[in-house]
């Protein structure tokens, strides 16, 4: 009974002003150094195409160049490429994106757009140290940033994955000892705790946000494929923290007993970031590789007034002017031949 769980991002951009340029999830005009940011992202995209062409089975310049670095396009046009290889290249590209943001768009470090970028990183990179990611998840007392701390949701759900792996080890141990009934009961109880914790984060971390904006409605429908309706009694008779090792970051709501839904959409709010969060220079580490960062000064911003004021306004869904990205985390819970698997869509 092996459990696994990943959380890619489903994201779409809102309307933006005519003079803005969408770079990744960002409106580059909001960055401290727009030109440097756009150039940095372009180099990262070029690296992705080169990485796939040079390293992945079936890669070729004509196959990847025609797609301009789009992973979805390359996968469609080059079906023989190895998916794992492509994900490794995409992981490396997203790491480069983070360097770009830390260098020339650091004033958006707690934004919805940055959190969407980190969602992509976690969705494509394997065996990574979440605590090494700069500016993520945003602290609870941050005075600026995304109206929903999606980083905290993803961080909690990723820890849930590790707890489910521990449950798998326990189930394996019980099966080897011939205690099959106890193994099945333990696995089902643990799975209910994992499902409840992962779902509850949407309501507990972002109670004011419409959970459908985060993809919780899709995840809740898919829970039906994994015996979720039977979890009510199991959760009532379980201590998910003491008995199964889950964190107490969130509650463990039962089916049909979640709090009232919030109504807000995602937006960037609060006071502006006017100085680099980690100072003008710092180094972060990814898989043993050092990434030295030198943040460009705010004086590089052609329109410093806009950069300093952009974080103070909330941009509701559908309004132009912010180029705000609305990422949605979704979970898919499936049961395959009695083996419980957390998968991702």
pLDDT of residue 151: 94
| Number of separate domains in the chain | 2
The one-character DSSP state at 106 is G
Between 317 and 42, residue with greater pLDDT: 42
Which of 237, 260, 283 is the last residue in one of the domains?
Answer: 260
Distance CA 11, CA 123 (A): 13
Taking 80 as the threshold, does the pLDDT of residue 133 lie above it? yes
Domain carrying residue 36: 22-126
Taking 50 as the threshold, does the pLDDT of residue 163 lie above it? yes
Task: Identify the top-confidence range among 4-13, 19-28, 256-265.
Answer: 256-265
The confidence band for 35, taking pLDDT boundaries of 50, 70 and 90, is: very high
For residue 295, being part of any structural domain is answered with no
pLDDT of residue 20: 58
For residue 76, being part of any structural domain is answered with yes
The confidence band for 107, taking pLDDT boundaries of 50, 70 and 90, is: very high
**SS3 track for 178-210:** CCHHHHHHHHHHHHHHHHHHHHHHHHHHCCCEC
For residue 275, being part of any structural domain is answered with no
The confidence band for 332, taking pLDDT boundaries of 50, 70 and 90, is: very low
**Selection from 57, 91, 54, 52 nearest residue 69 by Cα:** 52
Q: Which helix (H) or strand (E) holds 144?
A: strand 144-146
Please check whether residues 160 and 256 belong to one and the same domain. Answer: yes
% residues pLDDT > 90 (the chain): 54
Please check whether residues 120 and 209 belong to one and the same domain. Answer: no
Which of 217, 240, 260 is the last residue in one of the domains?
Answer: 260
Which of 195, 230, 260 is the last residue in one of the domains?
Answer: 260
For residue 107, being part of any structural domain is answered with yes
Return the structure tokens found at 251.
């509650």
DSSP string, 70-114: -HHHHHHH-TTS-HHHHHHHHHHHHHHHHHHHHHH-GGGTTSHHH
For residue 344, being part of any structural domain is answered with no
Task: Give the CA dihedral 133, 49, 70, 83, nearest 10 degrees.
Answer: -80
Please check whether residues 157 and 252 belong to one and the same domain. Answer: yes
For residue range 237-248, list pLDDT tens digits in order.
Answer: 889 999 998 987
Please check whether residues 33 and 108 belong to one and the same domain. Answer: yes
Please check whether residues 121 and 36 belong to one and the same domain. Answer: yes
Please check whether residues 37 and 96 belong to one and the same domain. Answer: yes
Between 57 and 315, residue with greater pLDDT: 57
Please check whether residues 120 and 217 belong to one and the same domain. Answer: no
Please check whether residues 84 and 169 belong to one and the same domain. Answer: no
Phi, psi of 277 (to 5 degrees): -60, -40
pLDDT of residue 82: 76
> For the residues 6-27, what does the mean pLDDT come to?
53
pLDDT of residue 68: 61
pLDDT of residue 75: 65
The confidence band for 197, taking pLDDT boundaries of 50, 70 and 90, is: very high
For residue range 221-233, list pLDDT tens digits in order.
Answer: 777 667 888 999 9
For residue 246, being part of any structural domain is answered with yes
Taking 60 as the threshold, does the pLDDT of residue 259 lie above it? yes
Distance CA 5, CA 271 (A): 35
For residue 16, being part of any structural domain is answered with no
The confidence band for 315, taking pLDDT boundaries of 50, 70 and 90, is: very low
Distance CA 208, CA 148 (A): 8
Mean pLDDT of the chain: 79
Taking 50 as the threshold, does the pLDDT of residue 111 lie above it? yes
Please check whether residues 104 and 55 belong to one and the same domain. Answer: yes
Please check whether residues 156 and 122 belong to one and the same domain. Answer: no
For residue 41, being part of any structural domain is answered with yes
The confidence band for 79, taking pLDDT boundaries of 50, 70 and 90, is: low
pLDDT of residue 317: 33
Please check whether residues 165 and 255 belong to one and the same domain. Answer: yes
> For the residues 15-27, what does the mean pLDDT come to?
67
Please check whether residues 240 and 183 belong to one and the same domain. Answer: yes
Q: CB-based burial of residue 292 (10 Å sphere; 0-12 exposed, 13-18 middle, 19+ buried)?
A: exposed
């Amino acid at each position: 009974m092996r459990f696994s769980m990943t959380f890619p991002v489903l994201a779409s951009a809102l309307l933006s002003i005519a003079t803005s340029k969408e770079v990744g999830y960002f409106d580059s005009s909001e960055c401290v150094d727009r030109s440097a940011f756009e150039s940095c992202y372009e180099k990262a995209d070029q690296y992705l195409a080169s990485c796939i062409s040079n390293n992945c089975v079936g890669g070729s310049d004509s196959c990847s160049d025609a797609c301009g670095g789009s992973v979805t396009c390359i996968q469609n046009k080059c079906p023989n490429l190895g998916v794992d290889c492509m994900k490794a290249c995409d992981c490396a590209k997203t790491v480069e994106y983070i360097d770009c943001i830390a260098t020339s768009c650091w004033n958006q470090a707690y934004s919805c757009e940055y959190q969407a970028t980190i969602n992509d990183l976690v969705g494509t990179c394997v065996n990574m140290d979440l605590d090494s990611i700069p500016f993520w998840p945003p602290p609870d007392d941050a005075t600026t940033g995304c109206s929903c701390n999606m980083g905290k949701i993803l961080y909690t759900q990723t820890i849930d994955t590790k707890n489910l792996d521990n449950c798998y080890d326990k189930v394996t141990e019980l099966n080897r000892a011939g205690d099959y009934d106890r193994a099945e009961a333990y696995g089902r109880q643990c799975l209910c705790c994992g499902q409840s914790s992962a779902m509850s984060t949407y309501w507990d971390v972002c109670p004011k946000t419409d959970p459908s904006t985060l993809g919780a409605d899709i995840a809740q429908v898919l829970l039906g494929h994994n015996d979720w309706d039977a979890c009510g009694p199991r959760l009532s008779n379980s201590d998910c923290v003491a008995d199964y090792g889950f964190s107490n970051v969130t509650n463990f709501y039962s089916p049909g007993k979640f709090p009232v839904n919030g109504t807000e959409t995602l937006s960037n709010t609060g006071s502006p970031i006017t100085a680099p969060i980690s100072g003008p220079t710092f180094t972060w580490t990814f898989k043993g590789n050092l990434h030295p960062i030198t943040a460009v000064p705010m004086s590089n911003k052609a329109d410093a007034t806009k950069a300093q004021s952009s974080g103070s306004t909330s941009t509701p869904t559908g309004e132009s002017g912010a180029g705000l990205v609305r990422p949605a985390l979704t979970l898919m819970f499936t049961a395959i031949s009695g083996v419980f698997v957390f998968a991702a869509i």
